[in-house]
Each structure stands twice: as C-alpha cells, then as structure tokens.
Amino acid sequence: MKEPVFTGSAVALVTPFRNYKIDYEKFGELIEYHIKNGSDAIVVCATTGESPTQTTEEHLEAVGFCVSKAAGRIKIIAGTGSNDTVHAVHMCRTAQSMGADGLLMVTPYYNKTTQRGLIKHYLHVADRVDIPIILYNVPSRTGLAITAETYAELSKHPLINGTKEASGNIGLVAETLSLCGDEFNFWSGNDEDTVAIMSLGGKGVISVVANILPAESAKMCALALNNDFPAAAKMQIGLMKLIKALFIEVNPIPIKTAMNLMGFDVGELRMPLCEMSEKNLETLTAVLREYGLLK
C-alpha cells in the first residue's frame, strides 16, 4: 500500500501579486491562515497560483518561501510540471532540495504527447527525485488525458504516489482503482467531485474553494474519510452554488476576485488573465452574500 502524500483538503493556493511582484508579506499571511483553519496541505505554484505567468526563478523562490514559512507545520506540495521533460526535472529537483514534501506534475501541454510518451516523461522524472510525485490530469486545460492503463503502468513506480484527477470522469477513477488497487492514490481536482471520488477510495481534494472556506473543505473530507458519506454529501451539495460561481470564468479569476471582495487583499491577476465581466461580478458578489461571506 502506498502511503498518500496527504489526506484531506489541500488548498490550491493563490499567489498574491502587487505591482508585478509576489507580495510575500501577504503570502505569509495566507499560509498562516490555512495552518490555523485546518487545511491539510498547501499546493503552491500550480494553476490557481498562476504558475504559467511566473519566471522559473520567481516560481522556485515562491516554493522556497512557502516551505520556510510553513516550517514543517503543514505539508507543502510544489507545482513542478512542464511540457519540457528536462525542465520538469530541474523544477522537481530544485523544489525537493528546498524541502517540499511532494511534487504536483501536470501532463505536458500544447506539444502534448502519446500515452507512451506520458509514461516515459513521468518515469524519467521519477527516477531523478527522492520525494513523492502526484500526477495532474486536467485535459480541459492541456488537451491530453491520462488513461487508466497509463495510470496502472505509472503506479508501479514507488515515487508516483497518485493523481489529482480533474477530468470529471468518475468512471476513470473506478477503472484505475480496479487495475491498481491501493498502490495508487486519487485526489479530486474538481471541488464538485470531491465526495464522489472519495466514495471510491479517494484520499481528499486539491481545492480552489478552500482558499475561502478551508475549515469547511477540511471538515467535508474528514467526514468522507470517516465513511460518513451522507454528511459529506450534504456539505458537498450545499457548496455547489458557490463552487459554480467560483468557476464562472477561468480559474483563478473568480477566486482571486472573491478573496479581494472578502478583504483578503491578494492583489491583481497577471495578464492575460484580467478582471471579471460586470455581469459575472454581480453574480459572484450575490452568491458570496448568500453564503454569508460578504456583508
């Protein structure tokens, strides 16, 4: 059995920007907020953290800061995926040297590859690091989906710990687990799929909503891990309107906008991401008020 990197709710943390630089004072406040409010892990510099608009130096500096600030109080998982295998090795090895607890590696995007290429890509990286890797399957962004057979092959490597599954294909989870058993871990990559994936044996979620509701996300996962699926499902269903609003435009536009409306003051988005449309902003604001998150 592969011990999961974490169980429960990991926040896909936003990156606070101010005047085209990372606001490290605010970054530190966010890390403390999640430690205080029960998040089980922090994922830094992934999709929600706007990693595609960060330089390599800035990206790695942010990882190092989070590891140092957390100081072992919460697990830090570094987004280190790339569509260039050699660059992915560099990012993974550097994050490892900084003290990251795990690595999150999205599938290659744009140039993409075949399933054979995916296997070669991930095994090449896994053979060159010493900490666990979480794969990241998000075909809506990358144009490339991991199959159950590829998951099964990759599960044989001791450092390929599991996957963040954001395809929306719940059947893929069941099919993969039928091939891999407990040698491969699943985390939901979509907030709306958390309880469904956990009901099949998933270990938790890498969550966008946890940026503003960390305690609630952690509680829902704890209920599911304790096999109280009726209570977990009730929480999941209760959050659906908020989840929908937080994805009304491309992530992380809505979550960062919501955080600024709520007073987190996480700063601007980096272009090409931009401010929400007026209509969608009205919808988001109304939903936040409905959930008691705005006065």
Task: Express each pLDDT in 164-176 by its tens digit.
Answer: 999 999 999 999 9
Q: Tell me what percent of the residues of the chain surpass a pLDDT of 90.
A: 99
Taking alpha carbons only, the member of 79, 60, 51, 48 closest to residue 210 is 48
From residue 204, alpha-carbon distances to 102, 125, 176, 199 in Å are 15, 25, 17, 10
Residues 258-271: what's their mean pLDDT? 97
| Interacting residues of 1 by C-beta distance below 8 A, sequence separation 6+ | 182, 183
Residue pair 163/184 in contact (Cβ under 8 Å)? The answer is yes
What is the DSSP code string of 59-74? HHHHHHHHHHHHTTSS
Q: How confident is the model at residue 295 (pLDDT cuts 50, 70, 90)?
A: confident
Residue pair 45/16 in contact (Cβ under 8 Å)? The answer is no
| CATH numbers and ranges of domains, the chain | 8-226 (3.20.20.70)
Taking alpha carbons only, the member of 90, 86, 66 closest to residue 78 is 66
pLDDT digits (tens, 9 = 90+) for 196-255: 999 999 999 999 999 999 999 999 999 999 999 999 999 999 999 999 999 999 999 999
pTM exceeds 0.75: yes
Q: For 193, which DSSP code?
A: G
For the chain, where are the alpha helices, taking DSSP H only? 24-36, 56-70, 85-98, 115-126, 139-142, 148-154, 170-180, 194-199, 214-225, 229-245, 253-261, 278-290
DSSP 3-state assignment of 292?
Answer: coil
Average pLDDT in the chain:
97
Task: Compute the 3-state secondary structure of the chain and give helix, strand, coil in percent, each to the nearest 5.
Answer: 50, 15, 35
Residue pair 187/162 in contact (Cβ under 8 Å)? The answer is yes
Question: Which residues are part of the catalytic machinery?
Answer: 136, 164
Query: What pLDDT, on the 0 to 100 scale, is given for residue 1?
Result: 83
Query: What pLDDT, on the 0 to 100 scale, is given for residue 84?
Result: 97
Residue with tokens 């906008």, as numbered in its chain? 257
Residue with tokens 């140039």, as numbered in its chain? 111
pLDDT digits (tens, 9 = 90+) for 33-75: 999 999 999 999 999 999 999 999 999 999 999 999 999 999 9
